[in-house]
Amino acid sequence: MKTALVYSDKYLEHNPGMGHPERPERLKAIVNGLKRFSLWSSPEIRIVEPRPAERDDIALVHDPDYISLVEKMSALERPIDGDTPTKKNTFELALLAAGGSIKAGELVMSGEFKNAFALVRPPGHHACRNHGGGFCYFNNIAVMIERLKRDFRLKRIFVLDFDAHHGNGTQEIFYADPSVLYMSLHQHPLTLYPGTGFPDEIGEDKGRGFKVNVPLEPGSGDIEYGEVMREIFVPICEKFRPELFAVSAGFDAHFDDPLTGLRLSTEAYGWLTTMVITQAEKFCEGKVVFLLEGGYDLEALAGGVVYVVRAMLGERFHPPEERTRLKLIDELKMLLSEKWSL
C-alpha cells in the first residue's frame, strides 16, 4: 500500500455551532468526494483509525497552563476567542485531531506507507504555544513534528503551508528552530486574518533564514503560485535537503472560497502536491504527510482534496506554463540571501 488516510467519524462530532465556517459538513464533503472518485475504496489506500494524543504529546509544543485552559474552557463551553468556541467535547476531539496527525507521521516514518493524509478536525496551524484562535486549539502539525523528531531523530523537516491564512502558530512555535523550515503561501496579512506572515519574518537566532513567508495579493492564482513554487520552493528544497515533508493543506485559496480573496483553481492542488512529491522523492524516499487545515466552500474543498489524493497515488499534474515576474520573489531572495543562495 502506498497511501494512508487517517480518519475517524468522531471528527464529525466537532461542531462549533450554527453558521460557523469550520463545520462537520466539510469532512462529510471530503469523504463523499473521495468515494465519488472511487478513492475511498481504492486498493492503494488504507483508511486508518486514529487514537487521541497524550497530554505529554501536546506539552511538546504547548504550555501546560494553556492545555489546562483549553480543558477548562471546553468543560465550561466558553470560547477560546471570538472565532473559536468550545463545546464539552472540544478538548477530547482536539486531542484526537493531534493524535491523528501523529499517527499519519508514524505511518510514513515507519515505512509502512509512502505518504499519508490526516483528515482531522479541528484544524491547528493558528494555535500558538500559549493561546489558540482562528478555529484552532492545538497545533496538530507542530505536535506531530516534535513527536517524530523525538522518535525518529529527524533533523530536517520541511513544512509547506498553502492555506490562504498564514500559519502564525506553526511559525511561532518553530521561529528559532533550524530543524524546521517553514514556508507559507498565503493571502497578504494586511487583507486577511491573522495579520502575520510578512516577508521579513524569516526566523530568529539559529532559526534565522528557516522561515519563508510569501504573502500574495488578493486575486493571485495559479500563475503566481506556480512562479513561487518554481523560484523559491524548489531551490530551497535543494539547499535544505529535507528528511520529511509536512504539508498544512488548506483549501481556502480556491477562487470559490467565501472567506478569502485568492484565485487558485481546483487542479492547482494537484500540481502543488505533485511538486512536493517530486522533491520528496528526490530527498526522502517520497515521505510526505498532509494535514487538513482550512477550506470553506464544500465543493472546492472536496475537489481539492481529491486532486491531492490522486497526486499522492502517482498521477502527475503540472503548473501553468505561463510565467509572471513577481517583485516579491526578488525581495524574498534578498531577505534569505544570508542563509540561502537562491
Nearest of 128, 160, 150 to residue 273 by alpha carbon: 160
This model's pTM is above 0.85: yes
Nearest of 66, 340, 313, 6 to residue 203 by alpha carbon: 340
Is there a contact between 56 and 98 (Cβ–Cβ < 8 Å)? no
Q: Give tens-digit pLDDT for 253-298.
A: 999 999 999 999 999 999 999 999 999 999 999 999 999 999 999 9
Domain ranges, ordered by start, for the chain: 3-335
Is there a contact between 312 and 287 (Cβ–Cβ < 8 Å)? no
Is there a contact between 103 and 51 (Cβ–Cβ < 8 Å)? yes
- C-alpha grid cell, residue 151: 522518535
Q: Say what the pLDDT of residue 269 is.
A: 98
DSSP 252-290: TTBTT-SS---BB-STHHHHHHHHHHHHHHHHSTT-EEE
126 is catalytic: yes
Find cell 511561532 and name the residue.
Answer: 172
Q: Give tens-digit pLDDT for 165-220.
A: 999 999 999 999 999 999 999 999 999 999 999 999 999 999 999 999 999 999 99
Interval 84-112 mean pLDDT = 98
Identity of the amino acid at 299: E
Q: Would you place residue 78 in the very low, low, confident or very high pLDDT band (cuts 50, 70, 90)?
A: very high
Interval 222-235 mean pLDDT = 98
Nearest of 175, 249, 179, 254 to residue 212 by alpha carbon: 175
Q: Choosing from 14, 125, 126, 131, which is the catalytic residue?
A: 126
Q: Say what the pLDDT of residue 342 is.
A: 84
Q: Say whether pLDDT at 1 is over 70.
A: no
Interval 3-20 mean pLDDT = 97
Q: Say what the pLDDT of residue 4 is.
A: 98
Q: How many angstroms separate the CA atoms of 213 and 161, rounded?
A: 10
Q: Does domain 3-335 have CATH number 3.30.450.20?
A: no
Q: How many angstroms separate the CA atoms of 270 and 247, rounded?
A: 13
List all residues 6 or more positions away from 324 whose beta carbon is below 8 Å from its beta carbon: 223, 224, 227
Average pLDDT, the chain: 97
The interaxial angle of helices 298-312 and 25-36, nearest 10 deg, is 50
Q: Give tens-digit pLDDT for 112-124.
A: 999 999 999 999 9
Identity of the amino acid at 44: E
DSSP 82-148: TTB---TTHHHHHHHHHHHHHHHHHHHHTTS-SEEEE--SS--TT--SS--BTTBSS-HHHHHHHHH
Q: Give tens-digit pLDDT for 307-331.
A: 999 999 999 999 999 998 899 999 9
Burial 7-33 (b: 16+ CB within 10 A, else e): bbebbbebbbeeeebbbeebbebbbeb
